[in-house]
């Protein structure tokens, strides 16, 4: 049975006009209805730190040097980590896929507790991440540029899994170490020189702060950048 080329309504074989819209029937009318245009919204993200992004994979792949790819949940490269060589502050540039600098993160050189600063592309302070020292489990605090506490990040004893909560106690994200088997096999030895993390976000928070927090977690607990032997001694007793 043919169909109207205008509205897709089925047409009787002997009809001269479409009974639905009145379009004249011509020879060669389609034998299938035209496809219905999709009304489903297409989700697009603009930039590495688009506030609509809900997941990242942070893939350090350069021998604890803080360099590597930043991927989305589908495994597509959306950014890159580029550590400044011979930087006492362990400075890392976070760039868009096209190489444009989107933010930087670096360690505070003199600090009572390990602290990292996150700055925007204009070198303006966005926030900071501090390691809590009086805690049996790994714990970090994320603060804004004015020092107001925004997030609390707590990990398990192995520092493999972390939960991100806001100041109302609501869980807004998680961090998971994806290559934890290397830690078990090599224990952070000479063969364990790269790390990979999955970051999930379900809250309204500046993405620069949470991506920066993952980098701080890697430096503080899994790399030699900010290794705290006192913490590890405390940690090994559990």
Q: Kindly tell me if the per-residue pLDDT of 187 is higher than 90.
A: no
Same-domain check for residues 117 and 230:
yes
Of the candidates 12, 15, 17, the one whose C-alpha atom is nearest the C-alpha of residue 1 is 12
Residues paired with residue 30 on neighbouring β-strands, in sequence order: none
- pLDDT, one tens digit per residue, over 216-231 is 999 898 875 564 433 3
Same-domain check for residues 62 and 115:
yes
- CATH code at position 89: 2.40.160.200
- DSSP type of residue 145: T
Q: Kindly tell me if the per-residue pLDDT of 90 is higher than 70.
A: yes
Work out the pLDDT band at 179, boundaries 50, 70, 90: confident
Three-state secondary-structure class, residue 159: coil
Structural domain count, the chain: 2
Same-domain check for residues 74 and 171:
yes
> 11 lies in which domain range?
1-38
Same-domain check for residues 101 and 144:
yes
Model pTM above 0.85: no
- Taking every pair of Cα atoms in the chain, the longest distance, rounded to a whole number of angstroms, is 90
Q: Where are the beta strands (DSSP E) in the chain?
A: 55-60, 68-71, 77-83, 92-96, 101-107, 115-120, 125-131, 139-144, 149-155, 161-166, 171-177, 195-201
- pLDDT, one tens digit per residue, over 74-85 is 889 999 999 876
């Amino acid at each position: 049975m043919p169909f109207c080329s205008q509205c897709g309504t089925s047409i009787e074989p002997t009809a001269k006009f479409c009974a639905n819209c009145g379009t004249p029937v011509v020879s060669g009318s389609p034998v299938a209805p035209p496809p219905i245009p999709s009304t489903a919204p297409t989700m697009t993200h603009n930039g590495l730190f688009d506030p609509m992004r809900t997941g990242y994979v942070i893939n350090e792949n350069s021998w604890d040097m803080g360099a590597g790819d930043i991927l989305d949940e589908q495994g597509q490269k959306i950014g890159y980590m580029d550590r400044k060589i011979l930087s006492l502050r362990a400075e890392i540039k976070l760039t868009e896929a096209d190489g444009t600098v989107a933010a930087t993160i670096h360690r505070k050189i003199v600090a009572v507790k390990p602290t990292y600063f996150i700055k925007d592309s204009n070198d303006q302070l966005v926030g900071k991440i501090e390691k809590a020292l009086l805690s049996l489990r790994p714990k970090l605090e994320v603060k804004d540029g004015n020092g107001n506490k925004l997030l609390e990040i707590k990990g398990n004893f192995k520092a493999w899994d972390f939960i991100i909560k806001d100041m109302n106690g609501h869980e807004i994200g998680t961090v998971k170490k994806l290559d934890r088997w290397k830690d078990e096999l090599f224990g952070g030895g000479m063969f364990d020189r790269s790390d990979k993390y999955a970051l999930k976000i379900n809250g309204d928070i500046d993405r620069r702060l949470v991506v920066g927090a993952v980098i701080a977690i890697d430096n503080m607990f899994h790399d030699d950048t900010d290794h705290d032997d006192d913490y590890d001694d405390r940690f090994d007793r559990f």
